Structure formats: structure tokens, C-alpha cells
Amino acid sequence: MVTVRAPATSANLGSGFDVFGAALSRPADVVTVEKAAETTIEVTGVGAQYIPEDPEKNTVGAVVEALDAPARIHIDKGVRPASGLGSSAASAAGAAVALNRLYDRGRSRKELVPIAAEGEAVVSGVAHADNVAPSILGGFTVTTAEGTSSVDAAIPLVVCLPDVAVSTRDARRVVPESASMEDLVETVGNAATLAVGMCRSDPALVGAGMSDPVVTPERARLITGYDDVRERAFGAGATGVTVSGAGPAVIAACRERDRRDVAAAMLDGFAGAGIEARAYQTRIGRGTTFLDG
């Protein structure tokens, strides 16, 4: 039996649509796998009632297929589904790392990224790897068609998750099909600033690079209260605020000393819109870890 802890992640970070990702120190899924003749999946924890246990429909089923590793799988969800916190990816990432060890498949962490991404295709129609990469590797990740680069970064974060669901599939429908040259230049500048900030563990630079003029404004419209949450977070000291993944979670970068105030301000913003929310005071963290030595 193998048990792993697979972290939540935040994709895009504003300027890095479908490219940037970050592992969060909390929350996380716990995935346990045991060899079996046929694959069965049991799901418990946050939002378990919305998650299919049929291997054809659960993200871990595609990982079992890719590694040819049938197993009895238990997923204890700490990451709520349809959150923008890489819920479906955390399970797939955890399953990939755990099954690789259980069956001694010998794949490196980087080789497991495209395998886990197959699970994302099951739920969103696209095998995007920007959530599974940080959940497997940890840190800040840059994923392109050529592979993933990662760097550890010490950046305090707040993610505020409103009590509403937005599916990635729906949120991809509002993404514009094209962008102007002006928007392209602004996005490249922001993305480069953010990447330098990650390499220097500098919350001011990371925050300055977290905005995007193309995708985020469209997605923000799907999140009631977003503008107020953003404004209040900046008022409490956030250095940058954007939609986490496909939403509805909102993510803020900040300095350690401001993290508690930023979390309270974001909760107030959603409360003002009549929406209950939960705030996680978190940071960029490690990738999937083994819990059983």
C-alpha cells in the first residue's frame, strides 16, 4: 500500500494562462493505492458527493490506464472540486506518484506530469498540465509543450474560495480566441516580471506580474463580488490579486506580515456580496509527498 499527500495548486497566476502554476502548502488530497486485479475508486472528504467513483469519469482512472497499474484507490479530498485550486489535478498527480511507486514503474517526476495530465482531459476536455505539474513537482512551474521547468519560491499567499462552483469546462468557454499586439506585449511583460519575482522570492515583483488584460477580466465576470474582493485585498496589503485557475477561488500574493489581514479583507469582500467563503493562508509549497515513508 502507498499513501501520498498531493497539494492543491493555482494555475495561470494571471499572466501565465495555461503555462504558470504554483503548488500550495495547503489544502491537499490524500491518495492511497493498493494492488488489485480490477480498479475501484472510493472518494471521501470535501465535495466527495460531486465526484464520480467510476474510473472512466474520475481523473485517476486515466492515470491507472497510462501506467497499466490497476488498484484499489481511496481519495480523501481536501481540495474541493470545481474550485480553481486544481482539485481534479491533485488526485491525478497523487495517483501518478503513488502508482509509479506501487508498481515500481521507474518514471521520473517530470515523466509523470503528462501522464497525470491525461486525467485533466477527462474533466475539462484538454490535457492541460499547469495544475498537475506543480502538484507533482512543487514550487512555481512553467509548463510548455516542451516540458516543465520549476523553481522553489518563498511567497506567502492567500486563496479565498467562495461557496459557489465554476467548472473549468465552462470557464474555458469565455476565453477570447485572439488578443491584440498591445495586450500581448503587456502580458509578456507581466509574465516575465512574475517569473523574475519567483526566482528572487520577491512578493512585490510576483504581485506586480499577476495581472492579465485578456483572460482574467472575462473569467472575473463569472465570480460575484470579485472586484470588491480584489480591491479590499489590495487595501490590506496584497501585492497582486487574480483569479486562481479557472475560478471561483481568488488568489493574492502578499508579505508574511499582511497575510492574516489580506485573508480577512477577502472574506469581507465576499460577505459583502452575500457569499460565504473560506480563506486559506498558504504559501508556495512542496509537491506530492509520501506519507508512509
Ligand X SMILES: N[C@@H](CCO)C(=O)O
User: What span, in angstroms and rounded, lies between the C-alpha atoms of 215 and 211?
Assistant: 10
Of 103, 102, 59, 65, the closest CA to residue 77 belongs to 59
Rule CB under 6 A: choose which of 29, 76, 130, 258 binds ligand X. 130
**DSSP string of 239-261, one letter each residue:** SEEEE-TTSS-EEEE--GGGHHH
User: What span, in angstroms and rounded, lies between the C-alpha atoms of 69 and 202?
Assistant: 41
Least distance (Å) between residue 220 CB and ligand ATP: 14
Q: Give the residue with the Cβ less far from ligand X, 92 or 246.
A: 246
Rule CB under 6 A: choose which of 80, 128, 230, 259 binds ligand X. 128
Least distance (Å) between residue 158 CB and ligand X: 18
From ligand X, ligand ATP, none, which one binds at residue 212 (CB under 5 to 8 Å depending on kind)? none
Residue 45 contacts residue 31 (beta carbons within 8 Å): no
13-72 binders of ligand X (CB under 6 A): 18
| Count of H-run helices and E-run strands, the chain | 10, 11
80 is in an annotated binding site: yes
From ligand ATP, ligand X, none, which one binds at residue 91 (CB under 5 to 8 Å depending on kind)? ligand ATP
Least distance (Å) between residue 245 CB and ligand ATP: 3
What is the binding site for ligand ATP (CB under 6 A)? 11, 50-52, 58-60, 75, 81-89, 91, 123-124, 131, 167-168, 245-246
- Tell me which residues are annotated as active site: 120, 168
C-alpha 37, offset from chain centre: 32
Single-letter amino acid code for the residue at 146:
E
149-208 binders of ligand X (CB under 6 A): 168, 171-172
83 is in an annotated binding site: yes
Give Cβ neighbours of residue 130 (< 8 Å, ≥ 6 apart).
11, 12, 16, 18, 19, 20, 21, 141, 143
Least distance (Å) between residue 200 CB and ligand ATP: 26
87 is in an annotated binding site: yes
Q: Determine the 3-state secondary structure of 4 from DSSP.
A: strand
Q: Which residues bind ligand X (CB under 6 A)?
A: 11-12, 18, 86, 128, 130-131, 168, 171-172, 245-246
Residues contributing to the annotated binding site for ATP: 80-90
